Amino acid sequence: MDYSLTIIVPLYNEEENLHRVEEKMKEYISQASIKCQVLFVNDGSKDNSEKLMIDICERNPEFNYISFEKNCGLSAAIKAGFDYSTTNLTGYIDSDLQTDPFDFELLLSEIKNHDLVNGFRHERKDSGIKNMSSIVANTVRNWFTHDGMDDTGCPLKILRTDYAKRIPMFSGLHRFLPAMIMLQGGRIKQVPIKHFPRIAGTPKFGLRNRLFKPLMDCFAYLWMKKNYINYNVEKRS
């Protein structure tokens, strides 16, 4: 079957969520406006996630997986998803399902004229501390990147795969995907989407990696922006 969209689902110790992920993603795929497939990226889970993931893929032909030998972090999982995507479009959703797969339709309606469409959780259902730390982190990133995004960390995105594969990923760069598309001369847009409380599993990010590390990553981004190589071929034989 020829698919048009690969949806990356990174997971790390998400055994409590995986059956729900299977149900929700199957429901969306059956009604999506384009043909979709799911690519699980198991980031070295230490619980029963890998077995459950393999079982899901064995009974659903639209589901595939790759599994790391050890935990490498979210940026590495997203990078691997980009590397293994075989479709023209690549999406991304978190395995906690705090965002709705059906909102991919909102992003798809805009991707024709853009190279990345980013979700914007305008009514977030997280704790006050988590919401405030994200607001501060996004404000600081905007100072550095000027990408105009209010929610770069939103776990619902669609990118053109050729742009995604050219992103030189480093740890933490998943927070800078819109800015990295801009460095390639790409067009970006954000779209308001729904957001839900986490109902199972444990959050993987705390105050330190929501505020302090992202600040350091901003300086890494500035170095990359200064030294980024971008070119357009005018002619070839």
Q: Is residue 26 part of a domain?
A: yes
- The string of pLDDT tens digits covering residues 131-154 is 566 666 666 777 777 788 888 888
Of 67-81, 107-121, 223-237, the range with the lowest mean pLDDT is 223-237
Q: Is residue 235 part of a domain?
A: no
Q: Is residue 181 part of a domain?
A: yes
Residue 67: which domain range?
Answer: 5-227
Residue 90, helix vs strand vs coil: strand
Q: Which residue shows structure tokens 């933490």?
A: 172
Q: How distant, in Å, are the alpha carbons of 41, 95, 144, 230 from that of 158?
A: 17, 16, 23, 22
pLDDT band at residue 125, thresholds of 50, 70 and 90?
low
DSSP output for 23-64: HHHHHHHHH-SS-EEEEEEE---SSSHHHHHHHHHHH-TTEE
The pTM assigned to this predicted structure is 0.85
Q: Is residue 162 part of a domain?
A: yes
Q: Is residue 114 part of a domain?
A: yes
How many structural domains are present in the chain?
1
In CATH, what number is assigned to the domain containing residue 155?
3.90.550.10
- The string of pLDDT tens digits covering residues 165-207 is 999 877 778 888 999 999 999 999 999 999 887 666 565 555 5
Q: Which residue has the higher pLDDT, 106 or 154?
A: 106
Alpha helix (H) residue ranges in 128-205 = 128-145, 161-165, 177-183
Q: Is residue 232 part of a domain?
A: no
Q: Which residue shows structure tokens 């479009």?
A: 89
Q: Any bridge partners for residue 191, and if so which?
A: 119
Q: Is residue 237 part of a domain?
A: no
